[in-house]
Amino acid sequence: MPFLSTVSESLADALALILPVECAGCDTEDQALCAGCRDALVPRPTRRLLDEEVWVHSALAFEGIPARVIRCLKEEGRTGLARPLGRALRDAILSSDAPGDAVVVPVPSSRRALRRRGFAVTPLLVRRAGFRTVGLLAPARVTADQRGLDRDARARNVAGSLRVRARSAELLRDRPIVIVDDVLTTGATLLEAAGTLRSAGLTVAAAATVAATPRRSSATHR
């Protein structure tokens, strides 16, 4: 699977060079991402408390151009966009001030999302951010699509949805973990990931996402 996804990523990158494209952010023709929209992906880091111990660091607000570019990557499979988004994610991961020996663990896509898209969004973003991904978490059961669910329904939907790969957990027993997801919405998925890792005796140091849905009242701007 990792090999296959690398092949399809390279293929999509190659196709992007020969097929006509429109800017993912504003539809300007013949550019995958215009200069103006590239500027809109310059990180403006915010952080939000996930629980008593863990901050989630996010590079961009999930609105306007960044939201369009992320949707283009996820729903249209324009994997070349993972490069500029990965640069923003790198900033969010580094703002977490996680210890140098921290490992980056992506939240896995559901099996259904993986089948639909043909690639796993978050691991790709982590690689483009310049970090090695550690596949410590895996889907444990089928979940409904989180879109359109309210906060409580999202939490119920993801409860028990992840599992820790036992062999990797043994190797990473003493390493701090930075959990990464693409977009922070209610935090239900990241909370579930943190809880699952802690139940396996692992230490969650921080979390990071490319973007976060704006919550003007409680977002802490740095």
Angle of helix 82-95 versus helix 121-128 axis, rounded to 10:
70
Closer residue to Zn ion (CB): 80 or 123: 80
Rounded to 5 degrees, φ, ψ at 24 are -65, -25
Q: How far is the CB of 34 from Zn ion (least distance, A)?
A: 3
Closer residue to Zn ion (CB): 26 or 67: 26
Q: How far is the CB of 96 from Zn ion (least distance, A)?
A: 29
Closer residue to Zn ion (CB): 84 or 106: 84
What burial letters (b/e) apply to 63-101, b meaning 16+ CB within 10 Å? eebbbbbbebbbeebbbbbbbbbbbbbbbbbbbbebeee
Footprint of Zn ion on this chain (CB under 5 A)? 23, 25-26, 28, 34, 37
Q: How far is the CB of 122 from Zn ion (least distance, A)?
A: 24
Query: 133: which DSSP letter?
Result: B
Q: How far is the CB of 18 from Zn ion (least distance, A)?
A: 20
Name the burial class of residue 122, with classes exposed (0-12), middle (13-18) and buried (19+) by CB atoms within 10 angstroms of its CB: buried
Closer residue to Zn ion (CB): 69 or 205: 69
In 117-195, at which residue ranges do the beta strands (DSSP E only) sit? 137-139, 162-164, 176-184
Check: CB of residue 137 under 8 Å from CB of residue 165: yes
C-alpha closest to that of 58 among 69, 71, 45: 45
Q: How far is the CB of 91 from Zn ion (least distance, A)?
A: 20
Query: Which tokens hold the place of 97?
Result: 């001030």
Name the burial class of residue 39, with classes exposed (0-12), middle (13-18) and buried (19+) by CB atoms within 10 angstroms of its CB: exposed
Q: How far is the CB of 105 from Zn ion (least distance, A)?
A: 32
Rounded to 5 degrees, φ, ψ at 139 are -65, 140
Closer residue to Zn ion (CB): 2 or 36: 36
Closer residue to Zn ion (CB): 37 or 59: 37
